[in-house]
Structure 1
């Protein structure tokens, strides 16, 4: 999260009683400000008001977990949908150790338990048909070849986070304190969600095995490989289209 638009106190409802406003320095997708050191306002630059309402509904449903705590409902700032959250304490990790990986695996297990069978009105962002459309936009043959090599059949098991990279989890004194940024949450395959986490958190088979065990998955590394490859390809193409560094991910696939 970070800042893409400049706002002042006058842009916020007076009923919030905000005295100080400080911009976040992290992230690039949305605009995030700290309010009086105990609250956060997030202004969604691309998500619709309906999608933001879906996030709010999901956070309420998963309130028993270490997730962002939203206050009030969706409102608008400079004609963009916005939400206010209680400020989460902690910091994101640069690298994850085995203990942190076990904690995030257990979180994802509990999150999927709560979201199994639930329906989201959000677009299913991670479907193969959508990835195929994204690949056509790149006009890059290697992406198309890699997709055709992957015969994975994705299931619709419930709502997934879809973006549980290291920077979307906070730790305080070695313990998971909050998982944030459910903007891309939509219906999808739970093992794909686990593979996205593996992509960011695990740099060895030992760490991947710890993730699978803490999640409660019984599949082998070989059985998990198609999910890992699909998640890697998805975010490789996503970065390519958004001008990010995709080469590191591509090297994992070729």
Structure 2
């Protein structure tokens, strides 16, 4: 999240009565403000309106989980659509990820996947091999191509996945998970890939990955999971390369030395 469209009180006043307006500093895709420290205003940058409706539908469908509650969905500011969500208490984990964080995010993802299994979404998979291959061709990067060619993986279509559950897309209060948010990249996809994205961001070693896997599903073996982790790493390295963002900290062979 972050700010691309600068807003002022007078822009929001017709839609929402507020006393404070606070910019957020992290993120890439959309404009996000905190309203009165109780609500989140998200302005969608160049987003298909059907995708926004799909996100609303998904959040309403999974509202029993700790996901944002849609408060207002009819906001248009500066030609762009916006939504107001409830703001959960707590903060994102910035530095030290504890085992309890891994356990809770693994359990959340398991519950989310159980609810979305076989469920259709307006967005078909955005993380498939054909899409990644096209992205890699745009980079002209031999290392990316070599890694792609080595990965013998067949991704499934299990249901709806989050797709972007990095550390900054969840909050904790007193080490208790309070909210998972930013479902803009949600689409149909492979549940284990979704879990691998979490491992890529939240874990730093074999021990932490095993904690995550156990919390999500005790039947998943680390040896079978590694190829998904490599694929998730490659996908997000390529994506960040194309947007001129640093990706050294998510390169598989650099981050997970004890798995090589």
TM-score in same-fold range (> 0.5):
yes
Contact 2:233/2:252 (<8 A) preserved:
no
1:65 maps to what in 2? 65
Greater shift, 53-62 or 215-224, is seen at 215-224
Matches within 5 A, 1:49-198: 49-94=49-94, 95-198=96-199
Classify the secondary structure of the residue corresponding to 1:113. Answer: helix
| Structure 2 CA distance for partners of 1:123 and 1:46, relative to 1, 3 Å | farther
| Structure 2 CA distance for partners of 1:140 and 1:206, relative to 1, 3 Å | same
Q: How big is the shift at 1:124?
A: 1.8
Quick one: distance in 2 between partners of 1:178 and 1:115? Answer: 18
**Cα deviations across residues 177-211 of structure 1 (Å, max 9, x unaligned)?**
00011110000000000000000111111111111
1:9 maps to what in 2? 9
| Structure 2 CA distance for partners of 1:12 and 1:206, relative to 1, 3 Å | same
Matches within 5 A, 1:25-44: 25-44=25-44
Quick one: distance in 2 between partners of 1:173 and 1:199? Answer: 24
Matches within 5 A, 1:181-220: 181-220=182-221
Greater shift, 30-39 or 55-64, is seen at 30-39
Classify the secondary structure of the residue corresponding to 1:81. Answer: strand
| Structure 2 CA distance for partners of 1:74 and 1:53, relative to 1, 3 Å | farther
**Cα deviations across residues 63-116 of structure 1 (Å, max 9, x unaligned)?**
000111111324321111211001121111123111110000000000000110
2:21 maps to what in 1? 21
Q: How big is the shift at 1:141?
A: 1.4
Please list every run of at least 4 consecutive aligned residues from structure 1 whose deviation after the TM superposition is greater than 6 angstroms: none
Quick one: distance in 2 between partners of 1:240 and 1:41? Answer: 29
Classify the secondary structure of the residue corresponding to 1:40. Answer: strand
Q: Could you say what the CA RMSD is over the residues aligned between the two structures, in angstroms?
A: 1.6
| Structure 2 CA distance for partners of 1:221 and 1:101, relative to 1, 3 Å | same
Contact 2:124/2:189 (<8 A) preserved:
no
Contact 1:71/1:84 (<8 A) preserved:
yes
Classify the secondary structure of the residue corresponding to 2:2. Answer: coil
Q: How big is the shift at 1:13?
A: 5.6
Q: How many residues align?
A: 254
Classify the secondary structure of the residue corresponding to 2:171. Answer: strand
Q: How big is the shift at 1:29?
A: 2.2
Q: TM-score scaled to structure 2, two decimals?
A: 0.93
2:257 maps to what in 1? none
Point out where structure 2 has 5 or more consecutive residues left out of the alignment.
Answer: 255-259
Quick one: distance in 2 between partners of 1:76 and 1:252? Answer: 45
Greater shift, 152-161 or 82-91, is seen at 82-91
Contact 2:103/2:211 (<8 A) preserved:
yes
